[in-house]
Amino acid sequence: MRNWYAAVVGLILIGSVGCGGKSEEGVRADMVLGTVRVINIDGQATGSGVLLGNGDYVATNWHVVDENLDGRPDRKLLVAAMVDSKTRTLPAEVVWSPTPIDRDLAILHLPEALRGRSSPALRSGPQAGEAAWAIGFPGVSDDFAIVEGSDLSVLLSPTINQGSISRIHDALGPLGGARAIQHQVPINPGNSGGPLYDRCGNVMGLNTLASRDAQGTNFAVSVAELEPGLQSLNIRRTVVTSCSVGSGTSWGVWLLLSTTLVLAGTALVLSMTKGGRQVVRNVTRRVTQPAPIASVPSAHLPPLPGRPPVGLPPVPGGLPPVPVGGMRQPLPPLPGAPGVSGNAFAQMKAVSGEYFGMLFGIDDKPILMGRDPTLRGVVFSADSAGSVSKQHCEVRWDPMRHVITLTDLGSSNGTFMGDHTRLSAHTPRDLRSGDRFYLATPGVMFEIL
């Protein structure tokens, strides 16, 4: 009999009702089903997105789909997701963007719906202090997930991070005056365009910006900014104003509430007797007291084979916030596909020009830079970088001295350091983290990370 009493009191103490009667695990599963990967083949970059309508539209950031940030979306776009444990990719077309474009949103149309996936509700009016979840496809996760023998599915398992909303902005300058949500949920390059969910799985915004010099200061464009596009395209949507069980409480919730009331009455009866009060005290102590935590030695991530351990690169300072990952995450080389070696010892980032925001791994094989389309490395188009020579310069890791070197290959218009010092042709120049250099013009500039 006493064991039965204990079970009753335990249920009263630990019972909970999830959103719409769903468990937390069910809500998280729905979040994942609403999130997709957006792949820009032209820009060799990826971001994240959220499904809209019947699963035939996707919302993401404009900078994910516009390689040159010239107001013209790239043509070769794909949306990828896991459907029934199988990889599924569909071509996508940009069908709407806001005015001004600085609000950094885009709606893509798919030729058919992604069956087996779901479009989440859109949430208006989130509040500071609320819990939030960011789901997307950060590139750093790809770096560790891709191993020999992997297939495309390893790139379609999203990362889930949790945090909270810090502030609501009615107009954010770097986003063209768009309504925005400031939050401290961890996001990284590749999260661009991915959803920021509330605890009930409603989308509050699309992750877009991260501050350069302030930790935990990230920004998502409010989904309210999508409304003009949703209306013009007549896209079906569900809009909610709060995170709750909804206007119609399910029979399961009513059953749980009724059971709780019955159990509460039983506990009240128990408390009227001396033996019953002792049972309540004992069970309460067992349920509410935290379990002892075993002492576990701290662990450190071992260095990857062929890759020396490196420290966290310094983060360049300066406001205003910058797009997540400098616009977008470079497209990782697919398993078995040719590309820059995965054994990169350092990285460089384009800070201006047609590759603005993209990251490039540096290893002991030279990264050749120029307009020659046969180069292994960074190839520039004549339209955007006509002053760049066909074989302009190279960047590489020197394994003997453990330094990065930059060498001008006899270019016509020169290779320059950030302080405008011109390099001598065919004479390597050592580079350190934070150094910048440019090809012919500051409009084609890179920074060593």
More confident residue, 44 or 124: 124
pLDDT digits (tens, 9 = 90+) for 28-85: 999 999 999 998 887 778 899 999 999 999 999 999 998 666 777 877 888 988 887 8
Helix (H) or strand (E) holding 31: helix 24-33
Contact between 100 and 221 under an 8 Å Cβ cutoff? The reply is no
Contact 344, 363 (CB under 8 A): yes
pLDDT of residue 278: 58
Instruction: Band the pLDDT of 381: cuts 50, 70, 90.
Output: confident
End-to-end CA distance of the chain: 67
CATH class assigned to 340-448: mainly beta
Residue 265: pLDDT band (50, 70, 90) is low
Q: Are strands 159-172 and 106-109 parallel, antiparallel or unpaired?
A: unpaired
pLDDT in tens, 81-104: 888 788 888 999 999 999 888 899
Question: Are the C-beta atoms of residues 443 and 353 closer than 8 Å to each other?
Answer: yes
Q: Is the pLDDT at 269 greater than 70, yes or no?
A: no
Rounded Cα gap, residues 36 and 39, in angstroms: 10
Q: 154, 125 in Cβ contact below 8 A? A: no
Alpha-helical (H) ranges within 41-90 are 62-65
| Burial class of residue 283 in the structure, from the number of CB atoms within 10 Å of its CB (0-12 exposed, 13-18 middle, 19+ buried) | buried
Average pLDDT score over the chain: 76
Q: What is the pLDDT of residues 38-53, one digit of tens each?
A: 988 877 788 999 999 9
Domains of the chain by residue range? 20-240, 340-448
pTM over 0.75: no
Length of the chain: 449
Q: pLDDT: is 345 or 265 the higher one?
A: 345
Yes or no: say if 161 and 187 are a contact pair by the CB < 8 Å rule: yes
Identify any residues that bridge with 355 across adjacent strands, giving them in sequence order.
none
Tokens of 374: 């046969």
170 or 309, higher pLDDT: 170
223 vs 189, higher pLDDT? 223
Least confidently predicted of 133-147, 152-166, 226-240, 425-439? 133-147
User: Over 60: is that where the pLDDT of 264 sits?
Assistant: no
Q: Using one digit for the tens of pLDDT, what is the confidence trace for 293-344?
A: 232 222 222 333 333 332 223 333 333 444 443 335 555 544 333 333 344 5
The identity of residue 404, as a single letter, is: I
Evaluate if residue 249 carries a pLDDT over 60: no
**Which pLDDT score is estimated for 267?**
52
Assess whether the previous peptide bond of 338 is cis (omega < 30° from 0): no
As assigned by CATH, the class of the 20-240 domain is mainly beta
